[in-house]
Structure 1
């Protein structure tokens, strides 16, 4: 029996508009220094005031995007702009090298070693430029995107701790995020550059990191695109692969490429089956390609973003192809995610569960969890489910 898509759409919409967004609007905004607190306890109280650039950028993006696409609410625009101004003033070194962390007041704490500070700054200023019409915001987005392309072969630069030349590896994360970011920043960049970036990222994701012999995506390959029998080379991150597949589906729609969409759906289904914990349910955080023990102690945790992004992928796969397998996975993931990550006593969702699906950390935000995956997932599922009616 088909689920009640209208009911599911309304549940996602109401959770977003009545629960999650008000939580971040009320608790995260720093009214004194600007920007956002992301280290929020279960009830929204602030337990640390350091500010992490990629979470700042994500929240600017979120509220600007919702202002642009859902409703032109003044409080959403105000929230986005005050965060963008904090980033504009303090987030970079003057040449759009974006720091990783700042003090509450905006003093640099951690050097610009993390390329995702750059990617989310670019996305933030692209959406903020659309929301405000600011030429300066558009310029910042464009300049930051250029810096990303300059750094993509060695994203950490001088802060790369790997010894050069012994085992050079390249990672899946950057081409994956560029698949999504290219469309976000489209109004600010040259069409040929956009087309070239999309083509390069599609090749990397679908022909280099996707391994036909496995039917799965690996996290790291050698510089010449081969598998590596090492901790990094054997690493599998099912959540990354599943999130990437809805980015690829969006590109498939953009390019009118049904074969690309179908391939993304196939990879998503393979990944969900591979990553699902057959004993306790939920999707593992990290796995080993050869079944060897992982060195990350959190390997068997169940994380919010993995499950939220997987929900988007499966309902989008169903909407675009009518795949019953996608719908079945969506219903399984929907039950698991809403019954375990949603906090029934306080707003926003938990982020970290143990393997058995019990809350491991009661925080609502921290160094890695901010105003992004939960609200973006609710928005995406709401929009897609309305098309499935």
Structure 2
């Protein structure tokens, strides 16, 4: 087993540094206008030049993170700066809210209709400020973070299409991302502020969204944490639920709360048992808690980020608890993921498979897929496997 952890760590490391990072460094940087191209076909050719704020900020974060945590390569810092400068100039409206999309030169295309652009801006500029020692970036990070705190209970604000008062639902996405974001902002926040926010987000995620009967994480609940019998109220998003659980494990590990770690591991394992496709393998994109038909027509697709976040959660869970079921599931998900998503011919990873596991979209990046989930997961899995290798000596 010791040799297995060592060999696997090398696989994740090599794929990150010699496959994924070079693909995006070579193909995504817009040298003329700044920022990044994310709409890349299989070979890395650009097929659309619009710039989506989530993905722009995520790419700044990833290159800055690699610079800070792995190796201070000037090339990585230069690419991070390329995006940070473009975003600082063009990314926000006059009130400081972050747009959803810009055209290639930086003119706004889509209004700042929810807070997730602000979340990723705070993550990006916090990590970039740490890498570059940039005071302006630090101010941008804090302004974006305060935006998120201010708008967290009404994330879409004036852009909310729902009629007020009839069917009020809150989304798991907000507290789960706030938990991870707050950890990212750790070095910029007062200690008591960070601990207060982390405690509140964990309480909300594990208290309101976790269904104690099924052990599953619901995507939407009422403001009081109750279920509603409707499409959105029955929705299970396996990838979100599992990703949220490794955020919770990360927080629980800070305070040595093994009970909370085990509770999060239970949710991961329950979710996998519920959402694993027993006929074709892989994890479904969406599920209905009661087995009813879903309105998301893509419900049975197999997505890259869902599987990658699951690998992170399973390794973290095994590392923190030693529970064999985590390792058994890791082997199963690892085998499926590496067989179906990695492109040995042109580099980088495919993102979208149909239920049978065949490539659905022949792209490496688009409106929703950029340089984030793949490199982050490869890095985190590599680190977890290195730790497991050292522990098993």
TM bucket, shorter chain: over 0.9
Instruction: Give the C-alpha shift of residue 290 in structure 1.
Output: 0.9
Q: 2:225, 2:379 → 1: CA distance? A: 36
Instruction: Give the C-alpha shift of residue 194 in structure 1.
Output: 1.2
1:101 alignment partner in structure 2 = 101
Q: 2:2, 2:220 → 1: CA distance? A: 39
Structure 1 residues 129-208: aligned runs within 5 Å: 129-208=129-208
1:346 alignment partner in structure 2 = 346
1:111 alignment partner in structure 2 = 111
Q: 2:181, 2:255 → 1: CA distance? A: 16
Q: 8 Å contact 1:139–1:188 — kept in the other structure?
A: no
1:240 alignment partner in structure 2 = 240
2:64 alignment partner in structure 1 = 64
Q: 1:168, 1:309 → 2: CA distance? A: 29
Instruction: Give the C-alpha shift of residue 2 in structure 1.
Output: 7.0
Q: Does 1:270 align with 2:270?
A: yes
**SS of the counterpart of 1:376?**
helix
| 1:176-217 C-alpha deviation (Å, 9 max, x unpaired) | 111111110111122222112101100111111011112110
Q: Does 1:355 align with 2:374?
A: no
| 1:261-296 C-alpha deviation (Å, 9 max, x unpaired) | 111111111111111011110000000011100011
Q: 8 Å contact 1:319–1:388 — kept in the other structure?
A: yes
* Uncovered stretches (5+) of structure 2, i.e. residues with no partner: none
| 1:119-171 C-alpha deviation (Å, 9 max, x unpaired) | 11000000001001111111111111110011111101111000000001000
Q: 1:131, 1:95 → 2: CA distance? A: 27
User: Size of the alignment, in residue pairs?
Assistant: 389
Moved over 4 A (4+): none
1:337 alignment partner in structure 2 = 337
TM, length-normalised to structure 1: 0.99
Q: 2:364, 2:168 → 1: CA distance? A: 37
Q: Does 1:385 align with 2:349?
A: no
| 1:1-56 C-alpha deviation (Å, 9 max, x unpaired) | 67700000000000000000011111000000000000000000000000000100
TM, length-normalised to structure 2: 0.98
Q: 1:77, 1:62 → 2: CA distance? A: 10
1:227 alignment partner in structure 2 = 227
Q: 8 Å contact 1:277–1:283 — kept in the other structure?
A: yes
Query: Which region of structure 1 is more displaced relative to structure 2, 88-97 or 169-178?
Result: 88-97
2:322 alignment partner in structure 1 = 322
Q: 8 Å contact 2:172–2:209 — kept in the other structure?
A: yes
Aligned-residue CA RMSD in angstroms?
A: 0.9
* Uncovered stretches (5+) of structure 1, i.e. residues with no partner: none
Q: Does 1:53 align with 2:14?
A: no
Q: 1:272, 1:2 → 2: CA distance? A: 26
1:12 alignment partner in structure 2 = 12
Q: 2:74, 2:290 → 1: CA distance? A: 52
Instruction: Give the C-alpha shift of residue 344 in structure 1.
Output: 1.6
